[in-house]
Amino acid sequence: MKIALIGYGKMGKAIEQIALGEGHTIDFIIKSPKDLAHLAPNSVDLAIEFTQPESAFQNLSHCLKNQIPVISGTTGWLDQLTEIETFCKEKNGTFLYASNFSIGVNLFFELNKWLAEKMAQLEFRPAIKEIHHTEKKDSPSGTAITLAEGITASHPLLTSWVNEESTDHKKLGIVSERIPNVPGTHTVSYSSPLESIEITHTAHNRSVFAQGVMKVGEWIHSKKGVFTMSDFINDN
């Protein structure tokens, strides 16, 4: 595939390494909004967007306007996701957003929803903790938000989440910790006075996200529509 990388930070570089190793070419590296003009129709087979919350919407709109299939892993811009998905459908384009491209985390999402349903009627209190590197701009992590949505959807009392420890029985607490060089650790726990359960996913290296991105990229680039990681996993 001919690939455009939008964003050339930690993830852009990790994806470049995996993509080149798999025989793809990196035809454009977009480092700022002024470089976007290079991405004209048919310039690449796929654009991969990992930037920052303030930039994702403009980058993705540009790709969709120019009929370039695009996948995004940028977190912290979910308030504009529906608008991008609608725009993709209007343009008959190709788009996938995932808060986390690790296949292990996406299985964790399934397990999380299953466990939340089982726990719904029991006297356990759920909580989420995420740990990331100190350069991370958003908090809580996109992955923690996906986990929280998976729990609140089936819990009879919890209606929303807060980014702190919660003593309010209607609010799910997400605690965020920042420690140098941690690629991403997420824990969902359920506690009662007599027992507790914890499920943790630990990313040992950013390559786990980059490998997921390339698998999804190969699968999606010749399809049309708005897709999710569940679509990818169910089709593979």
Ligand X SMILES: O=C(O)C1=N[C@H](C(=O)O)C[C@H](O)C1
Ligand Y SMILES: NC(=O)C1=CN([C@@H]2O[C@H](COP(=O)(O)OP(=O)(O)OC[C@H]3O[C@@H](n4cnc5c(N)ncnc54)[C@H](O)[C@@H]3O)[C@@H](O)[C@H]2O)C=CC1
Q: Which residues are catalytic?
A: 132, 136
DSSP state of 45: S
Q: How far is the CB of 120 from ligand Y (least distance, A)?
A: 28
The C-alpha atoms of residue 198 and residue 143 are separated, in whole angstroms, by: 16
Site for ligand X in 142-161 (CB under 6 A): 142-143
Query: Per rule CB under 6 A, is residue 201 in the interface with ligand X?
Result: no
What residue is closest to ligand X based on CB? 184
Token pair belonging to 45: 């087979």
Characterize 27-51 residue by residue with b for buried, 16 or more Cβ atoms within 10 angstroms of its Cβ, and e for exposed: ebbbeeeeebeebeeeebbbbbbbb
Q: For the chain, percent helix, then strand, then coil, each to nearest 5?
A: 40, 25, 40
Helices of type H across 54-203:
56-65, 81-90, 103-119, 142-152
CB of 162 to ligand Y, least distance (A): 20
Q: Name the residue among 35, 75, 125, 94 with its Cα closest to residue 232.
A: 94
| From the list ligand Y, ligand X, none, partner contacted by residue 211 (C-beta under 5 to 8 A by kind) | none
Cα–Cα–Cα angle for 47, 50, 55, nearest 5°? 95
Minimum distance from residue 35 beta carbon to ligand Y (Å): 7
Residues between 54 and 113 that touch ligand X (CB under 6 A)? 75, 99-100
**Which lies closer to ligand X via its Cβ, residue 100 or residue 112?**
100
Each residue 78-117 as x (binds ligand Y by CB under 6 A) or -, in order, gives --------------------xxxx----------------
- C-alpha distance from residue 21 to each of 4, 14, 26, 203, 214 (Å): 16, 11, 11, 21, 11
Binding-site member from 2, 28, 52, 81 for ligand Y (CB under 6 A): 52
Among 50, 108, 161, 190, interactor with ligand Y by CB under 6 A: 50
Instruction: Enumerate binding residues for ligand X (CB under 6 A).
Output: 75, 99-100, 132, 136, 141-143, 184
Sites of contact with ligand Y (CB under 6 A): 6-12, 30-33, 50-52, 55, 59, 73-76, 98-101, 138, 209
